[in-house]
Structure 1
Amino acid sequence: MTSAITTEFGTAIPAFGSGDSNHIITSHLPTWDATVAFGNFDMSMLMRIKTLYPRMMPHKYIAQLTEKIVALSGVEGKRCFLFPSAVSAAQCVEFATSENRGKGAVPKDNIFIRIFDVHIRVWAVFFPPPPPFGPDHKPPGVMGSFWSNAGVGLSTRQGADAMDHIELLHEVSATDPLTIAESSESFATLRKRITSLIQRAPIDEARAAKVTPDDVYLYQTGMSSIYSIHRYLLSSSRSGSTVLFGFSFHSTFHVFEDFGPGFKLIDSRTSENLDELEKYLKSEKDAGRFVQAVWSEFPSNPALTVPDLVRLRTLADEYGFILAVDDTIASFCNVDLLSTADVLVSSLTKSFSGYANVMGASAVLNPSLPQYSFLKHLFASDYQNDLYNADADVLEKNSRDYLERSAILNANAENLATYLVARSQLPDSCISRVLYPSTIPSVANFTPHLRRTTPDFKPGYGCLLSVELKTIESTIAFYDNLDVHQGPHLGAHLTLALPYVRGLHAKELDKVSEFGCLPTQVRVSVGLEDGAALREIFGRAVGFGDEAFKKEEQAKKAIA
């Protein structure tokens, strides 16, 4: 049996072993009531959170540096967000002042950029504080939206390093020379490692074009990779609309919604959905409109639906769009998608890093497909590397045991999914279904992309699953008695559970239910703990859920 969870509410989950917890990127937010409060932007609960995912809330080191910069600037009545480059700061201002923001737009004369040096350069965007939360519980303004969804803000280690040299803080002008730190060797090592992993045990050994380290691009966060590539395409000669094929991570929706001419969301669970996509592509072509890209997660978050990439590739070749695939959940050690995707994006924050203490991402261009030359030219003109040296160093160190950890994550998740499926088949079970790539019909779209088994690694279906309960009451009973850490993130060393839909889509439950995403689903990122102990923990929680479900059924019979 694993030890009972003793982590305090709203604080960072424990670091692996004796590791440093100062940069842990997720926190423990236990109980169903806390999830409901989070989804409703309940300030009484939010104020209790001491640390949260850095894109959702500026990390303590960023907050400390912000306070110092505001004090030095002498600016009163303003807040500010900090960025590592002039480009990202300017994009923030552009976003906030755009007429597309409607009534929430920041007046152009009420937002500005100031520049500061410590031992690194920081661009500070000053803006008026957002209005307080009203009774409708709306989140605080467009600035918070940009920080959260674009993912291009200052990193926790940049903030920490700046605070270590805070006595050097001074303001500079845009014309002052910028001291550029020597790039860490970790960047080259990471690109080589990702290249090797992307090409290991391929499905098609005869594939002529090989990925090289020059085809691997590194980013600050998973969302910054999606946001940046989307912006590249919007600025290109092939600019057009975007399709998101399948329900996806909530920030991905916001990026496509907030930047560009809009996007079309199409479900991905059936072959009829592909027919719908094809019909839409034809109608756009007939109307003289261009679809620049179709994006899809492999598999989707949180329902684990697996899109048919083979047919998507056929459509991409016919209609000329870029097929961009986010393989974060499957993880590229498990799947080979180079026969289908023009560009692969991966949040390295997740399984690749594995220890929940650093953020980063990669985009890999596929030299095997016709869009490669266009994309290569596009990246050459628009890409800039804002991943911080210290973050690259941690990613490099963490990922040395990526394959070994992934083998454990795969086994633990599949064994737990199998166990929970068995529990769902018992009489009066509270479990409606278990969503895991190997347990749902779309597994037929997953297995053709599994890498070959090698002596050192057997590919699997990843670390993420969702447990769908039959009723809200049984969901609450299950979740409140589930003795694992509870909060956002996936791919960590510790198991994490979260009623994802209820917490992140609280204001649109009817809409997301159309895509099979329900408030009775608990998303589970399985960790490195002992597999038997995890089954015992989940079995106990299912028992509480079963009991609650039985009581509900008995009450219904009594009324009848």
Structure 2
Amino acid sequence: MHLRETLASPPGSAPMGTPAVVDPHTILASIPRWRDVLELTQKNAVYMAKFKVGYPRFFMHNSVRKLTDVCLEAVNGVDGELMTMVFPTPRILHECVSYLSQKGGIDNPQKVGDIRVVHFDITGPSKVSMSPPDSIHVVLFPPELEETAKAFWLNAGMGISSRHAEYLLRRLEEGDILMVVQRPSENRLNKYSGALSEKVVMRQRIAGLLNGGDGDQPASLLVEAPDIGKRPIQPEDVFLYPSGMSAIWHAHQLTRTLFPNLKCAAFGFLYVDSMNVYQNWGEGLINYFDDPDATLKELDQNPPKISALYTELPSNPLLKSPNLSKIRNLADQHGFLVVVDQTVGNFINVDVIKYVDIVCTSLSKMFSGSANVLGGSLAINPNSRHYDSMRAYLLSEFVDDFYHEDAIVMEYNSRDFAKRVRTANANTMEIATLLRSRSISYSNSSKSHAPNPRNLLAVKDVYFPRWVTRDEYEICRRPYPDSNNYGQLITITFVSTKASEAFYDALQCVKAPSIGTNFTLAVPYVVLAHYHERDVVAKHGLDEALVRLSVGIEEQDVVIEWVETALEAAEKTLEVADNQHRLAPLL
């Protein structure tokens, strides 16, 4: 299938820190070598200076940085020592201030009093200007609170987008004026008919997908016949957010409001930023990392009083699936909400809505596929016993802060979503099978031998939903003629860090920290996301040197060649070690 994105040639050759995709709003920076990843985790200043782009929650886009500097200069008279962050709506600004005051006050209580907010209007140079005002909302804080502010930006996922910042800068460059206002102006962020229609289309598309359709005809709801007495998802049950983490954050606020003063629970080892949200907002988190059978038994026999149970299907990166049917039964018995992030499984491959109250999805991944826009969705189950209270909360509290130009790009990118997913599914099945055939785990369980001289195998194990907690995945797997809809993510462990490094460095695909793109992506997930707690995550099955592979829609033969070349490089590290071992007695 033809890629619409422009990549380096070969894709993995883009220098470190440069755009992995040729697009001014790309969300991916290339990290082509293992040692680059290590330097990044150490925040080496020389290496960090090479990064020109990055994932927007981790790295401030150049346009956002410029707008921040403009705002800081405009208020520098307040206190020249203060730092700043820019947000698109007053609501997000006040959430940031609340977080800074609460979390920053723990280590720096004397600095909380220095937090300031400033509201700006960008308006025409005269009262008769035809351009209506746009608003910007700024928080100022002392340097001691910088890490806390970054944590809010990273985990809540509601920072101003690069397209929005670019538009506001353009207004200023064309002569409009930045004015401090005492009260925030009415938010015009999404009062654009074009954006509204695009969002309606996306909500229809997502509702149709959740009901079992393909989303190929956005104006219609391609609905499977629902179970007797069950209501299908309507577009009004789908809410759009500026990022997947924003959808997660808002789902968490919903559950906290409906069940106040209660802890929540996480089932399985979940994505690190999601865990941060559950831990840092609210009454705290109960972790059920391991032994799902024992966890289900404990939840049944000694259920804690919780607001919600959060899980993923499948999990990132070990691709383990929870038994949602049993979890649903427990939730009904004990009265908690079930919230599932099905980003890795995605709308085409899995059907989770029947078992959950809320389903969250990062639209930045395969729904978009092009790695040039962020977005997220939250859908509520109309058959949930909590539906009326969830919907009442959302109708009361929802603020549309998904910038209109981002929504337009997202809608365009997602038009061929189903076709791309099915192509990626087929490619991934072939790659997973190839990797497994060259693994120790498969060799030990099979009488066949891998096609490798002296049977030196560099791959220790391959994690893929077809072979990991398959029964649990099958509960939610959508019927599919080709029976290969196990997703596009594979996690690979190796016999040594040297083998992992050789495999990663030899791969010719894009190497960057994300998943679910139209093009194949790889990253050493634990080294990048959990470097400083490697020993801790190892206890939960996350091998320090694992490589996560997100397979794209390229020609299958091309991806196979990339992986075979990388496997050969990994296996050569074992040949060297084997030769040294053979020569040792002679030395």
Pair in the same fold by TM > 0.5: yes
* Aligned-residue offset at 1:489: 1.1
Q: Hey, what does 2:100 align to over in structure 1?
A: 96
Which has the larger displacement, 497-506 or 177-186? 177-186
Q: Hey, what does 2:219 align to over in structure 1?
A: none
Which residues in structure 2 correspond to 1:319-358 (within 5 Å)?
Answer: 319-358=334-373
Task: Flag the 1:173–1:505 CA change in 2: closer, same or farther, 3 A.
Answer: same
Instruction: Answer yes or no: is the 8 Å Cα contact 1:203–1:449 preserved in 2.
Output: no
**Count of aligned pairs between the two proteins:** 536
| 3-state DSSP of counterpart to 1:98 | helix
Q: Hey, what does 2:391 align to over in structure 1?
A: 376
Instruction: Answer yes or no: is the 8 Å Cα contact 2:103–2:148 preserved in 1.
Output: no
Unmatched 5+ residue regions in structure 2?
1-7, 123-132, 214-222, 444-449
| 3-state DSSP of counterpart to 2:349 | coil
* Aligned-residue offset at 1:9: 1.5
Residue 411, structure 1, aligned to residue 398, structure 2: no
Which residue of the other structure, out of 186, 193, 206, is the alignment partner of 2:198? 186
Task: Flag the 1:31–1:280 CA change in 2: closer, same or farther, 3 A.
Answer: farther
Q: Hey, what does 2:217 align to over in structure 1?
A: none
Which residues in structure 2 correspond to 1:256-295 (within 5 Å)?
Answer: 256-267=278-289, 270-279=292-301, 281=303, 284=304, 290-295=305-310
Task: Flag the 1:253–1:471 CA change in 2: closer, same or farther, 3 A.
Answer: same
Q: Which amino acid aligns with 2:463?
A: L
Q: Hey, what does 1:168 align to over in structure 2?
A: 176
Q: Hey, what does 1:13 align to over in structure 2?
A: 20
Q: Which amino acid aligns with 1:517?
A: L
Instruction: Answer yes or no: is the 8 Å Cα contact 2:313–2:340 preserved in 1.
Output: yes
Residue 195, structure 1, aligned to residue 217, structure 2: no
* Aligned-residue offset at 1:107: 2.1
Which residues in structure 2 correspond to 1:521-540 (within 5 Å)?
Answer: 521-540=546-565
Query: Structure 1 vs Structure 2: percent identity of aligned residues?
Result: 27
Q: Hey, what does 1:219 align to over in structure 2?
A: 241
Instruction: Answer yes or no: is the 8 Å Cα contact 1:101–1:142 preserved in 2.
Output: no
Q: Hey, what does 1:134 align to over in structure 2?
A: none
Distance in 2 (CA, whole Å) between partners of 1:103 and 1:480 is 41
Residue 145, structure 1, aligned to residue 151, structure 2: yes
Residue 476, structure 1, aligned to residue 484, structure 2: no
Which residue of the other structure, out of 66, 73, 76, is the alignment partner of 1:74? 76
Q: Hey, what does 1:452 align to over in structure 2?
A: 479
Which digits, 9 at most, give the CA deviation of each residue in 1:68-123, with x for residues without a partner? Answer: 11122234222211111111111111111115752156723211111112352111
Q: Which amino acid aligns with 1:110?
A: D
TM-score computed with the length of structure 2 as normaliser: 0.87
Residue 156, structure 1, aligned to residue 162, structure 2: yes
Instruction: Answer yes or no: is the 8 Å Cα contact 1:245–1:294 preserved in 2.
Output: yes
Distance in 2 (CA, whole Å) between partners of 1:492 and 1:334 is 16
Q: Hey, what does 1:463 align to over in structure 2?
A: 488
Which digits, 9 at most, give the CA deviation of each residue in 1:523-550, with x for residues without a partner? Answer: 1111121111111111111111111123
Distance in 2 (CA, whole Å) between partners of 1:391 and 1:169 is 24
Residue 206, structure 1, aligned to residue 227, structure 2: yes
Task: Flag the 1:477–1:117 CA change in 2: closer, same or farther, 3 A.
Answer: same
Distance in 2 (CA, whole Å) between partners of 1:176 and 1:421 is 57
Q: Which amino acid aligns with 1:13?
A: A
Task: Flag the 1:99–1:415 CA change in 2: closer, same or farther, 3 A.
Answer: closer
Distance in 2 (CA, whole Å) between partners of 1:49 and 1:491 is 22
Instruction: Answer yes or no: is the 8 Å Cα contact 1:431–1:468 preserved in 2.
Output: yes
* Aligned-residue offset at 1:476: 1.1
Cα RMSD between the aligned structures? 2.1
Distance in 1 (CA, whole Å) between partners of 2:112 and 2:57 is 25
| 3-state DSSP of counterpart to 1:364 | strand
Distance in 2 (CA, whole Å) between partners of 1:116 and 1:158 is 15
Task: Flag the 1:237–1:524 CA change in 2: closer, same or farther, 3 A.
Answer: closer
Instruction: Answer yes or no: is the 8 Å Cα contact 2:104–2:148 preserved in 1.
Output: no
Distance in 2 (CA, whole Å) between partners of 1:476 and 1:179 is 49
* Aligned-residue offset at 1:264: 1.1
Which residue of the other structure, out of 436, 439, 451, is the alignment partner of 2:467? 439
Instruction: Answer yes or no: is the 8 Å Cα contact 1:83–1:154 preserved in 2.
Output: yes
Q: Hey, what does 1:135 align to over in structure 2?
A: none
| 3-state DSSP of counterpart to 1:107 | helix
* Aligned-residue offset at 1:237: 4.6
| 3-state DSSP of counterpart to 1:480 | helix
Q: Hey, what does 2:333 align to over in structure 1?
A: 318
* Aligned-residue offset at 1:335: 1.2
Task: Flag the 1:100–1:309 CA change in 2: closer, same or farther, 3 A.
Answer: farther
Distance in 1 (CA, whole Å) between partners of 2:388 and 2:266 is 23
* Aligned-residue offset at 1:148: 0.7
Unmatched 5+ residue regions in structure 1?
16-20, 132-139, 285-289
Q: Hey, what does 1:247 align to over in structure 2?
A: 269
Which residue of the other structure, out of 20, 27, 32, is the alignment partner of 1:25? 27
Distance in 1 (CA, whole Å) between partners of 2:35 and 2:232 is 50
Distance in 2 (CA, whole Å) between partners of 1:430 and 1:498 is 17
Distance in 2 (CA, whole Å) between partners of 1:338 and 1:68 is 45
Q: Which amino acid aligns with 1:352?
A: F
* Aligned-residue offset at 1:204: 7.0
| 3-state DSSP of counterpart to 1:446 | helix
| 3-state DSSP of counterpart to 1:437 | coil
| 3-state DSSP of counterpart to 2:355 | coil
| 3-state DSSP of counterpart to 1:352 | coil
Distance in 1 (CA, whole Å) between partners of 2:224 and 2:474 is 11
Q: Hey, what does 1:429 align to over in structure 2?
A: 457
Distance in 2 (CA, whole Å) between partners of 1:438 and 1:360 is 28
Which digits, 9 at most, give the CA deviation of each residue in 1:250-280, with x for residues without a partner? Answer: 1111111211111011125542232244455
| 3-state DSSP of counterpart to 2:364 | coil
Distance in 2 (CA, whole Å) between partners of 1:179 and 1:387 is 12
| 3-state DSSP of counterpart to 2:264 | strand
Distance in 1 (CA, whole Å) between partners of 2:300 and 2:115 is 43
Q: Which amino acid aligns with 1:191?
A: R
Instruction: Answer yes or no: is the 8 Å Cα contact 1:95–1:146 preserved in 2.
Output: yes
Distance in 1 (CA, whole Å) between partners of 2:52 and 2:388 is 46
Q: Which amino acid aligns with 2:366?
A: S
Largest Rg, 1 or 2:
2
TM-score computed with the length of structure 1 as normaliser: 0.91
Distance in 1 (CA, whole Å) between partners of 2:329 and 2:527 is 36
Q: Which amino acid aligns with 1:240?
A: L
